[in-house]
Amino acid sequence: MIKIAVLGYGTVGSGVVHVLETNKDLIAKRVGQEIEVSKVLDLRDFEGDPIQAKITHNYDDILNDDEIKIVVEVMGGVEPAYTFVKQALLKGKHVATSNKALVADKGSELLKIAKDNNINFLFEASVGGGIPIIRPIFSSLTAEDITDIKGILNGTTNYMLTKMGEEGAEYDDVLKDAQNKGYAEADPTADVEGYDACRKIAILTALANEQFVDFNDIKTEGITKISKTDMKYADALNATIKLIGASHKENDKVYAYVAPILFEKSHPLAGVSDVFNAIFVKGNMLGDAMFYGQGAGKDATASAVVADIIDEARNLDANIGYSWSEDKLELADIDTLPMKYFVRVKGDKEADVKSSFGDVRFVKADGVADETAFVTDLIKASELNDKLNSFELITAIKAEI
């Protein structure tokens, strides 16, 4: 029997216990022995719940228990998760985590400690919830030079944008709806400003390029400026708008960003609706592949955490090689990469737009007046901004159309 401890008995923590109980026999068969949750760290008590017998409020009870071989960190946030995880690894305990903030910020150091101690620090659930993406990039796609990753990495904002597109609803109304349904938190900043997606694309970019990526270097734009009118135009273009975390490699430069992108409806990512996530990966030999599924939620996320626990249980005395170099990858400035933009400016400016931008594609939306909307050809953001100086800009959204 292998004893494990769970740090945090919230949604994912209780999900981990549920998955381990539900699939107990098949997991025991696959590992070769049973896995038992022996302690659970939480500030709260759970009177009336059988888990109470395992609850401790003192992390030292777990750290100093030599029978516990695997620590599952599902608390979220950098502290105290970082301190706890580091202490566990230094004590020779494997760690499985769903915590993207921890992995994006401290992953390089924690991976190195794990390697030095011949144990594992695994984090499949930190990106895409239940969707396999960390292991595929690390393992199945290890023969590939990955040139592109484009992901719908945040379920909350995908739900909101889907509602705005399908129902013609305004941003504030869909935010309230998402909060009522429990998809968005009372403080939705991390989701709607793109910070959550930023950490996730930092992790994927680091894995694909085997180098630490500082999420602070990733230009990040959320969805707060997307309006019902933008969605109307998108529809007129047979397109939709998605919040994307992307990285792109070209001429030995790596670009990464988080931004809303207007996609043609025929693009595989355009059909990813509601709280679902999808990650589109391009490899130089493989071509395109897409990973799709539940990017959040109790059991789906817990399933990915338990997969890491199983891998660790099967490799108690071996580091399985997840790593990236601690040397920071210097990202190239995304604004220097030519992209298309969907632009709205005030007034009837078709003639001026033509003289500045050439023969662009104009678009009209029902019931929208006193403005000019168009899709540029490929252009660098700095050139776009120069050209837009003589217009009253309403919005400019990256477009793949």
Q: Given the rule CB under 6 A, which residues bind ligand HSE?
A: 129, 154-156, 191, 196, 295-296
Least gap, CB of 97 to ligand HSE (angstroms):
12
Q: Listing from the earlier edge strand, what are the strands of the sheet with 121-122?
A: 55-56, 35-41, 2-7, 68-73, 94-97, 121-122
Q: 180 or 389: whose CB is closer to ligand HSE?
A: 180
Q: Minimum Å distance from CB 321 to ligand HSE?
A: 25
Total Cβ atoms within 10 A of residue 180: 9
Residue 89 vs 296, nearer CB to ligand HSE = 296
Residue 292, Cα to own-chain centre: how many angstroms?
13
Residue with tokens 């921890």, as numbered in its chain: 102
Catalytic residues, by residue number, are: 200
Q: Rank residues 257 and 357 by Cβ distance to ligand HSE and give the closer one.
A: 257
**HSE on the CB side for 384, CA within 13 Å?**
25
- Could you tell me the smallest distance in angstroms from the CB atom of residue 98 to ligand HSE? 8
- Closer CB to ligand HSE, residue 103 or residue 353? 103
Please name which of 14, 20, 353, 90 lies closest in space to residue 82, comparing C-alpha atoms: 90
Please list the residues that pair with 345 across neighbouring strands.
Answer: 372, 393
User: Taking the CB of residue 219, how many other CB atoms lie within 10 A of it?
Assistant: 16
Cβ-based neighbours of 17, under 8 Å, separated by 6 or more:
6, 9, 37, 40, 51
To the nearest whole angstrom, how small is the minimum distance from the Cβ of residue 143 to ligand HSE?
29
Query: Is the CB of residue 53 less than 8 Å from the CB of residue 74?
Result: no
Contact call for residues 207 and 220 (beta carbons, < 8 A): no
Measured CA to CA, the distance from residue 192 to residue 220 in angstroms comes to 11
Q: For the CB of residue 275, give the shortest distance to ligand HSE in the complex, in Å.
A: 7
Query: How would you label 315-354 residue by residue, b for 16+ Cβ within 10 Å and e otherwise?
Result: beeebbebbbeeeebebbebeeeebbbbbbbeeebeeebe
**Cβ-Cβ contacts under 8 Å for 359 (sequence gap 6 or more):** none
What minimum distance in Å lies between the beta carbon of 257 and ligand HSE?
18
Closest CA to 248 of 212, 219, 205: 205
Closest CB 184 distance from ligand HSE, rounded Å: 8
DSSP one-letter code for 49: S
The residue among 197 and 339 lying less far from ligand HSE, judged by its C-beta, is 197
| 255 residue type, one letter | Y
Closest approach, Cβ 188 to ligand HSE, in A, equals: 9
Residue 16 or 31: the one with the smaller Cβ distance to ligand HSE is 16
Distances, alpha carbon 290 to alpha carbons 124, 148, 279, in Å: 16, 11, 6
SS3 9: coil
> Of 132 and 283, which has the nearer Cβ to ligand HSE?
132
The H or E element spanning position 374 is strand 371-375
Minimum CB distance to ligand HSE smaller for 108 or for 126: 126
Largest CA distance in the chain: 75
